[in-house]
Amino acid sequence: MVLSDNGASSEGGVGGSLNDLRHWNILGTSVREALERIDEIGGPAIHNNYPWGWTVAGNTPFRRWKREVHEGGVADPLIVHWPTGIPDPGTVRTQYCHAIDLAPTILDACGVEAPVTIDGVAQSPIEGTSLLGVLGDGDHPEVRTTQYYEMLGCRALYRDGYKAVTYQEIQSEDPPPSDDSWELYDVRADPGECHDRAAEMPELLAEMIEAWWLEAEAHHVLPVDNRPFSEFTLAVPRSVPERAVNVLRPSPAMIPEACAPDIRNRTHSV
């Protein structure tokens, strides 16, 4: 199985960034600064990110980008190579599926049941559905007809070919859910989400919005954390205590962010 990452990054902003971590520190990069250091881009001194123009190009034909739940942030190609399990190699399946369906598909193909406990610890149930039927038959009915999405306050629900979606602007004070502006798309016929059907089908949209809240409650999404993006820079509980001096020794292993010294927006020396 070969699966892409979610959509192209938007963290570079309108003009791009010379340091991707500036985004998390609420700092930008001016066009003048970028031009002055253009020859350094791609080298060891720059951890750059591209501007929104390339983000849109990278996500074409889908709408918007990573960190959001329009198709530009959630639609991905999946390539499966299985000579003995797929009778028509080289064909395309159009049935909807989700990343959570991959693990149960592999278990099903291997004839293995997911363990209920591991070392005496009860495991959370697998919420996906096996795709073996779809892989074996291009005309097989969709095995997943409903799926919710939530990312930084952006929300969506897929149901039987339709998708209700609401966009929450990051880096702004968030309105209450009652102020949400929902869109409705027939993503089978309109995967690029170009034609909003909300005004034409208000009853269906209302049903899908209500269904989103039910799915969110059932899968422990609530309460929705739609705070402004700038609050990601605030202090959070850490796995190691704060200290004034940190000793780091050579090692091939990376240091997880939660364990690394927090030097963002702080005076420090190395």
pLDDT means per 10 residues, the chain with 270 residues, are 87 84 74 89 88 92 92 93 93 94 95 92 91 94 95 93 90 65 96 97 98 95 75 63 82 79 83
Where do the domains of the chain lie? 2-74, 146-232
The predicted structure's pLDDT at residue 159:
97
- What pLDDT score does 228 carry? 64
C-alpha–C-alpha distance, residues 164 and 148, integer Å:
10
pLDDT of amino acid 172: 59
Which candidate, 67, 70, 75, places its Cα nearest to that of 49? 67
Contact 157, 169 (CB under 8 A): no
* Residue 185 near residue 199, CB atoms below 8 Å: no
Beta strands in 152-269 (DSSP E): 154-159, 162-166, 182-186
Query: Which ranges constitute the DSSP H helices of 112-228?
Result: 132-136, 202-218
* CATH architecture of structural domain 146-232: 2-Layer Sandwich (3.30)
| Three-class secondary structure of residue 118 per DSSP | strand
In this prediction, residue 229 carries a pLDDT of 62
Give the pLDDT score at 174. Answer: 58
- pLDDT of 78 reads 93
